[in-house]
Amino acid sequence: MHIHTPACPCFIIPSSMLRKLAIQADGAERQRLLEQLERSAFLRGQRAASGLAAPGLLVAPGVRHRTVYDAHHGTRLPGKLVRTETAAPVTDTAVNEAFDGAGTTYDFYQQILKRNSIDGRGMGIDSSVHYSKRFNNAFWNGRQMVYGDGDGKLFTGFTHALDVIAHELTHGVTQYTVPGGGLVYDGQSGALNESMSDVFGAVVKQWHAKQTVRKADWLIGAGIMTPAVGKALRSMADPGNAKLTWSGDDQPGTMRGYVEGGDVHTNSGIPNHAFYLAAMKLGGHSWDKAAPIWYQALSLLHPDATFADAAQATVKAAELRHGAGSGEAAAVQGAWHEVGVV
Ligand SMILES: [Zn+2]
């Protein structure tokens, strides 16, 4: 048996992007952004301590159990309890957005993938908002979601983008679904971990908006940043789109651009683009065929899975769902071939 490093904390904003933004800032602003980077590195070092959540009680499918806490700009988690499942909306928008986004994501997993919450056993979904001061990130820490407010200059907050919320919750789903405790957050398995979160982040957003694969924008993180930073974090349709952000999107879309030793948010562009291509080939809504295939593939992976393993697992899942030699299996195989993985 291998001993695997737990997978998270997993962030939405890559540290490489925050570093570039810090470098172009000046004086106190630069200092503050660099301190936030150190804070993220510190949290990553703490991951062994956060560990896996205790298995939840088995709760009946369809019963949501959400709680939202206010960290009051501190870093102690979870903070003060401010909203529970049965409580009415409060005056704090971030609290309500975190609550509603968790609910939509829960509903997607329940209704479309027949999964009962993050752990498949009805686990409560806990979120903390107002984490730290002007914190430019959101993350899943291994047991709960954590949202900064953004500094207002670069990022405007992280709770108002449904794909960001679904991205973070999916880190939890991956952790509980890939046999062996998730996908190690480093190298290709780390990029796959990030990609799975982008995939289901995008699909939940499309499902909520009832968009076809052709209508969807395939952007991740649109609406969390000021125009000074750009339009969105990443594009699954066009990884490496230089016009997306001021700092430039450094994602490759195929293995030709693979970055040796690259950040998990960089090489994730390759499996992201494979999903986009498969979804376009399969047509209709991404949640009809493409997402269930990718979801089933999670159980066929292992903590150190490579892109080639993901290609094999998704083709296998397509065969299990639609038959060997089916058009669906061929579409998935073709997508991975186009990005140069197989
Ligand atoms: Zn992530």
Q: DSSP characters for 203-272?
A: HHHHHHHT--TTT---EESTTSB-TTTBS-SEESSSTT-TTSBTT-----SSGGG--TT--HHHHTHHHH
Instruction: Give yes or no on whether 10-177 and 187-338 have one common fold.
Output: no
Work out the average pLDDT over 145-155.
95
Give the torsion through C-alpha atoms of 101, 106, 111, 117, to 10 deg.
170
Distance between Cα 200 and ligand 1 center (Å): 11
The domain limits of the chain are 10-177, 187-338
CB 302 within 8 A of CB 180: yes
Q: Give the pLDDT confidence of 241-274 residue by residue, as tens digits.
A: 878 887 778 899 999 999 999 889 999 999 999 9
Domain 187-338, CATH number (from 3.40.250.10, 1.10.390.10, 3.40.50.300, 3.65.10.10) = 1.10.390.10
Predicted local confidence at residue 251, as pLDDT: 94
Predicted local confidence at residue 41, as pLDDT: 76
Q: DSSP characters for 181-212?
A: TS--SSHHHHHHHHHHHHHHHHHHHHHHHT--
Q: How confident is the model at residue 113 (pLDDT cuts 50, 70, 90)?
A: very high
By the 10 Å C-beta count (0-12 exposed, 13-18 middle, 19+ buried), 74 is classed as middle
Distance between Cα 111 and ligand 1 center (Å): 23
Predicted local confidence at residue 48, as pLDDT: 41
Distance between Cα 232 and ligand 1 center (Å): 14
- Structure tokens that stand for 2 in this block: 């291998």
Distance between Cα 32 and ligand 1 center (Å): 22
**In the predicted structure, residue 51 carries a pLDDT above the cut 70:** no
* CATH number 3.10.170.10 is the correct assignment for the domain at 10-177: yes
Query: Which residues contact residue 209 at a Cβ distance below 8 angstroms, ignoring those fewer than 6 apart?
Result: 216
Q: Give the pLDDT confidence of 54-96 residue by residue, as tens digits.
A: 555 567 788 899 999 999 999 999 999 999 999 999 999 999 9
Catalytic residue positions, numbered: 168, 265
**In the predicted structure, residue 305 carries a pLDDT above the cut 90:** yes
Query: Which residues contact residue 177 at a Cβ distance below 8 angstroms, ignoring those fewer than 6 apart?
Result: 120, 298, 299
**In the predicted structure, residue 115 carries a pLDDT above the cut 90:** yes
What is the residue-averaged pLDDT of the chain? Answer: 91
